[in-house]
């Protein structure tokens, strides 16, 4: 039964003699009608993100389908909040955002291999239900930010990228990050670009505040040639200037929404080897792999995200981790180029071929339409 309900703080309900707390974050301008509609919208959005029908969610939450239909339409008057709590629990939701966070979230950087254009296809192949969402090669986080899961664990071996994610979660760093980005915008020119680019050649670079390194990462991504992230064998950023007259580093609304998303969800952020990271996955979780891609023969495709190469042996090691997770009962999906080698590695799984346009490359021959595969260990 419902224990207590406070519109401006939290719903607390009792189930199986344990307290389940569902926080609802509100903006001051919200009225009850807006609150009800947003609760309904959030439930529907999460249900669709998990590819669930209303009937499936109704059965999972022990709720009448007709009642669920009303709730998704925002017609909550007369519905017990205990019922809403059951639906939240069935969707594995702990934090529900209200209002502005229903707007689109976009990656804060342009990233090679980004999945924005394939989101619909990826979502159609996702499992209908899962517990935690894990992404070992998060990159710009296009799928993560589209799904907006309530429980997730992300990772990337690129420490500069992960530092940016962490700065979004820290109020002090985030405030200073915004000021630093505006400073970069105001001072931008070719000479300034190379001055900022070459900071990682200095011994004192590692001692710079996190927000300064995060601002540098975003600025270089926006100002460099074709949005590439490439480093040399020493781990130093070496992409030339894009020779732009001006750069826009700071999207105020998107950055604020990203910050709120990362601060109001149950999440963990790591910077470690993908195999080590995947040990965190448990039965019933969903892992999405978007690794550096296998190289297509006679095609100058970009795969260098850090100073460590991701060649055939790494692709093989990744396939072994994929198989290990499969045996563990984890739901797994992986993206890669449609090469003979990748097809051989994952021959025992479901391989879906899709076409994608790749525009991030320092060489024009590496741009254009390519075939990719989306591989799963399940069928929905």
Q: Where are the domains of the chain?
A: 2-102, 116-157+271-376, 159-257
Render pLDDT for 86-102 as a digit per residue (tens, 0 to 9). Answer: 888 888 765 554 444 45
2-102: which CATH architecture? Orthogonal Bundle (1.10)
Beta carbons within 10 angstroms of residue 294's beta carbon: 23
What residues contact 289, with CB distance under 8 A and at least 6 apart? 135, 136, 137, 274, 318, 322, 332, 333, 334, 335
Render pLDDT for 286-337 as a digit per residue (tens, 0 to 9). Answer: 999 999 999 987 555 544 454 457 899 999 999 999 999 999 999 999 999 9
Class of domain 116-157+271-376: alpha beta
Rounded Cα gap, residues 251 and 359, in angstroms: 22
Contacts of the segment 338-345: beta carbons below 8 A, 24+ positions apart: 338/370, 338/371, 338/372, 338/373, 339/294, 339/295, 339/296, 339/297, 341/294, 341/312, 341/315, 342/294, 342/315, 342/373, 342/375, 343/373, 345/315, 345/316, 345/319
- The CATH number given to 159-257 is 1.10.1020.10
User: Tell me, what's the pLDDT at 32?
Assistant: 63
User: Tell me, what's the pLDDT at 353?
Assistant: 97
211: nearest Cα among 172, 256, 259: 172
Render pLDDT for 146-155 as a digit per residue (tens, 0 to 9). Answer: 999 889 999 9
Average pLDDT value over all residues in the chain: 84
**Whole-number Cα distances in Å, 275 to 158, 288, 298, 304, 354:** 15, 13, 30, 19, 26
Higher pLDDT, residue 151 or 17: 151
What residues contact 365, with CB distance under 8 A and at least 6 apart? 299, 300
């Amino acid at each position: 039964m419902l224990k207590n309900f406070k519109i401006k703080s939290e719903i607390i309900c009792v189930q199986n003699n344990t307290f389940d707390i569902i926080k609802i974050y509100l903006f001051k301008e919200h009225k009850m009608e807006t609150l009800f509609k947003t609760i309904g919208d959030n439930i529907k959005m999460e249900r669709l993100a998990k590819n669930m029908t209303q009937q499936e969610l109704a059965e999972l939450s022990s709720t009448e389908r007709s009642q669920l239909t009303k709730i998704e339409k925002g017609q909550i008057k007369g519905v017990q909040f205990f019922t809403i709590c059951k639906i939240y629990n069935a969707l594995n939701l702990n934090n529900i955002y209200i209002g502005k966070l229903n707007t689109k979230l976009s990656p804060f950087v342009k990233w090679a291999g980004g999945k924005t254009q394939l989101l619909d296809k990826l979502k159609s192949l996702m499992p209908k239900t899962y517990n935690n969402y894990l992404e070992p090669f998060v990159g710009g986080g296009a799928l993560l930010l589209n799904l907006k899961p309530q429980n997730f664990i992300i990772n990337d071996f690129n420490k500069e990228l992960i530092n940016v994610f962490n700065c979004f979660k820290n109020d002090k760093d985030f405030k200073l990050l915004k000021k630093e980005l505006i400073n970069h915008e105001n001072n931008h020119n070719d000479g300034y670009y190379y001055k900022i680019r070459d900071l990682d050649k200095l011994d004192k670079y590692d001692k710079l505040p996190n927000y300064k390194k995060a601002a540098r990462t975003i600025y270089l991504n926006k100002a460099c040639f074709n949005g590439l992230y490439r480093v040399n064998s020493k781990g130093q950023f070496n992409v030339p200037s894009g020779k732009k007259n001006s750069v826009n580093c700071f999207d105020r609304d998107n950055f604020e929404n990203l910050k709120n998303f990362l601060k109001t969800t149950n999440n963990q952020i790591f910077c470690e080897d993908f195999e080590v990271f995947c040990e965190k996955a448990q039965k019933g979780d969903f892992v999405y792999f978007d690794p550096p891609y296998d190289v297509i023969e006679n095609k100058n495709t970009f795969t260098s995200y850090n100073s460590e190469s991701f060649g055939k042996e790494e692709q093989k090691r990744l396939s072994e981790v994929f198989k290990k997770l499969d045996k563990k009962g984890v739901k797994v999906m992986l993206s890669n180029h449609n090469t003979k080698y990748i097809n051989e590695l994952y021959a025992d799984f479901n391989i879906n071929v899709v076409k994608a346009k790749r525009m991030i490359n320092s060489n024009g021959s590496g741009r254009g339409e390519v075939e990719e595969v989306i591989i799963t260990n399940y069928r929905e």
